[in-house]
């Protein structure tokens, strides 16, 4: 019997477990570990609450968790309660699927002022991540800015722009819904350091912001090249750029605006003890397509600044780390003997949820190549892990515990909302009678 530990229960972890289960059948036990008693990682804490169809992929993960060879072991912090080296003693292979939960830093003056928050913090706040339950982002000013031109920036800008009514059917947590409902923000400026042809926003997500109830997107056509320059673009990007161009035809007859400010590189955030404005430098593209400052600067007012410029994987003791790439140092998912990485911890923070499926299957193939199905293993697996945790006073949770939490969250839901999430670890544990 082989014993595998998958660390992290987000999409990458679940697809890897699914692939291992298919490859080994009942000749392996696969444990999916998570630091929280609730699974799904990015699906629960990252995917926007008004994108329920994307969140529905967790139903597929439920099937994996319910299969005979797979167990969910929650409430265990790898790197805290147990080390990677200890897991390698207990398991034949350890697959790190810990994602990239940390915000990358801009590295400009004023970044640490109150009112400047990373997208992981802001997204975590409205999605019920316990670390960010108390974030309390300042929503009392009329201007906010989001830095970055990816889908996360768009998520943040959209959430700031929606009406309470537009959150119906979503699972945004109550504290965020109430705060956003009382928000004074009327202008959200999205700052892109490059131009419309360099955005990382996808058409479906961009299309949505053209149909908001009380907010209208605004673009400046002077930022766009002539329309014929769109022709050579990859079809998805061309569609996104066409949507952006279309925003110029929308009437600005709503109470909020979402301003797309291109060729705009933040150089400082200023304010008296808290963010009040961003100093932005105009850019132009150099011969390599990078943003080069022109020296011309201007100010964008913002009492809330959200940086949405990408994420990084936190280092884990004893695991080689690629400082430049913000992920574990790995070769096609192999980190070291019997130690692998998948998902954002392997590739860096790019790609959609679906990208993790081939990624997880590929790494599972490496595991199979390294220890073919049917080969013997003599590790202790979950039994050994649980004994070790018990000796340290750590009480893990299992999949049935998660179902109890889930049912309680569903029973607390307000009308039209699938669940009201608990936002504190203590509340999860209380649900389990602990």
Q: Quote the Cα angle for 330-332-338, to 5°.
A: 65
- Nearest distance from residue 86's CB to ligand NAP, in Å? 32
Under 8 Å between Cβ of 301 and 277: yes
Residue 398 Cβ vs ligand NAP, minimum distance, rounded to whole Å: 30
Minimum distance from residue 369 beta carbon to ligand NAP (Å): 28
| Residue 303 and residue 275 in contact, taking contact as beta carbons nearer than 8 Å | yes
Residue 215's nearest CA partner among 137, 159, 138 is: 159
* Residue closer to ligand NAP (CB basis): 17 or 120: 120
Residue 310: CB minimum distance to ligand NAP, A: 5
From residue 99 to residue 138, what is the string marking binding to ligand NAP with x (rule CB under 6 A)?
A: -------x--------------------------------
DSSP 280: E
Q: Which CB, 314 or 318, lies closer to ligand NAP?
A: 314
Least distance in angstroms from the C-beta of 364 to ligand NAP:
22
Contact residue for ligand NAP among 35, 193, 327, 347 (CB under 6 A): 193
Nearer to ligand NAP, 58 or 69 (CB): 58
Q: How many positions of this chain bind ligand NAP (CB under 6 A)?
A: 24
Query: How do beta strands 334-336 and 339-341 pair?
Result: antiparallel
Question: Which strand (E) or helix (H) includes residue 143?
Answer: strand 143-147
194 lies in the binding site for ligand NAP (CB under 6 A): yes
Produce one character per residue of 167-201: b if its CB has 16 or more CB atoms within 10 Å, e if not. Answer: beebbbbebbbebbeebebbbbbbbbbbbbbbbbb
Site for ligand NAP contains 205 (CB under 6 A): yes
Q: Cβ closer to ligand NAP: 120 or 382?
A: 120
Asked if 123 and 46 touch (Cβ cutoff 8 Å), the reply is yes
User: Footprint of ligand NAP on residues 308-367 (CB under 6 A)?
Assistant: 308-310, 349-352
Supply the Cα-derived Rg of the chain in whole angstroms. 23
Mutual angle of helices 119-126 and 151-161, in 10-degree steps: 50
Phi and psi angles of residue 259, each rounded to the nearest 5 degrees, phi first:
-95, 120
Q: Which of 75, 149, 170, 330 binds ligand NAP (CB under 6 A)?
A: 149
Cβ proximity to ligand NAP, 21 vs 205, nearer residue: 205
Residues 163-192 that bind ligand NAP (CB under 6 A): 192
Helix, strand, coil abundance in the chain, percent, nearest 5: 35, 20, 40
Residues that bind ligand NAP in the complex, under the rule CB under 6 A? 106, 147-153, 155, 192-194, 198, 200, 202, 205, 291, 308-310, 349-352
């Amino acid at each position: 019997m082989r014993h595998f530990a998958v660390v992290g229960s987000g999409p990458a972890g679940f697809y890897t477990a699914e692939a291992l289960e298919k490859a080994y059948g009942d000749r392996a036990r696969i444990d999916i570990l998570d630091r929280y008693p609730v699974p799904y990682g990015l699906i629960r804490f990252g995917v926007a609450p008004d994108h329920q169809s994307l969140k529905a992929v967790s139903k597929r993960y439920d099937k994996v968790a319910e299969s005979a060879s797979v167990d969910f072991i929650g409430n265990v912090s790898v790197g805290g309660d147990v080390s990677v080296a200890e897991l390698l003693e207990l398991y034949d292979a350890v697959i790190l699927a810990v994602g990239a939960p940390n915000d990358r830093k801009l590295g400009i003056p004023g970044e640490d002022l109150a009112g400047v928050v990373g997208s992981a913090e802001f997204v975590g706040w409205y999605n019920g991540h316990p670390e960010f339950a108390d974030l309390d982002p300042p929503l009392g000013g009329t201007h906010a800015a989001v830095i970055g031109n990816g889908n996360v920036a768009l998520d943040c800008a959209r959430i700031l722009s929606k009406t309470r009514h537009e959150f119906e059917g979503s699972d945004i947590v109550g504290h965020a819904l109430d705060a956003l409902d009382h928000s004074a923000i009327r202008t959200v400026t999205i700052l892109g350091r490059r131009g419309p042809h360099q955005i990382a926003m996808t058409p479906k997500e961009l299309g949505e912001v053209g149909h908001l109830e009380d907010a209208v997107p605004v673009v400046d056509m002077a930022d766009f090249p002539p329309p014929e320059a769109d022709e050579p673009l990859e079809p998805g990007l061309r569609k996104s750029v066409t949507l952006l161009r279309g925003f110029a035809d929308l009437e600005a007859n709503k109470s909020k605006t979402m301003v797309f400010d291109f060729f705009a590189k933040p150089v400082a955030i200023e304010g008296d003890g808290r963010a009040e404005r961003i100093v932005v430098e105009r850019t132009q593209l150099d011969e390599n397509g990078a943003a080069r400052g022109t020296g011309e600067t201007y100010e964008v007012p913002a009492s809330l600044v959200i940086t949405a410029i990408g994420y990084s994987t936190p280092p884990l003791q004893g695991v080689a780390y690629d400082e430049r790439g913000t992920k574990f140092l790995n070769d096609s998912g192999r980190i070291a003997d019997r130690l692998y990485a998948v998902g954002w911890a392997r590739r860096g923070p790019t790609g959609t949820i679906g990208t993790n499926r081939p990624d997880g299957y590929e790494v599972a193939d490496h595991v199979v190549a390294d220890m073919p199905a049917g080969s013997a293993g003599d590790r202790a697996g979950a039994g050994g892990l649980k004994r070790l945790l018990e000796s340290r006073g750590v009480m893990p949770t299992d999949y049935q515990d998660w179902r109890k939490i889930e049912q309680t969250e569903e029973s607390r839901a307000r009308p039209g909302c699938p669940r009201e999430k608990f936002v504190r670890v203590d509340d999860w544990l209380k649900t389990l009678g602990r």
